Chain A
């Protein structure tokens, strides 16, 4: 089945810093989503982005489907950005395959 890798596994930032999270996948996909999991376990939708570029406030994402990777950019990070960020892909099946996540800690 499709493999999903995320890097870095852990990231510690000072408030106000920028960061880039990466998701690599091993096969073509027809769906890719980025999620933020808060400390209570809720998965919050950030982007639905099987290809192209999207922006939402301080967050933006780019997926280059032909090269099998996606990037999530966080600018001017805030302490509330802390948590685990997951990339999940669907390669024409019925289910999402999640990456292992990037754990982000933003320090005040």
Chain B
């Protein structure tokens, strides 16, 4: 158990819908990263927050957004879902940027 929690574990929804994925980092970790992992793309960095502020953006679509709240938990919002958004979404946290990251168990999103 890494200490990073993610909910829900599984999500099945339809195209065009909107979902919210939630992540609670390890106690004391200020940095939260979101990743998308699909079979054909590997682990792709989406976005990073550090202590409530957006720090870096990767290959994140405009339909996707995220935020980190004062208690440091983070949410990833995915809207206008497409079949191709089906993937595993991981949250990871670290004390500082670029250090050892601890990954949550992931949310498996299936878009039908």
Q: Do A and B come from one complex?
A: no
Chain A interface residues (CB < 8 Å from chain B):
none
Chain B interface residues (CB < 8 Å from chain A):
none
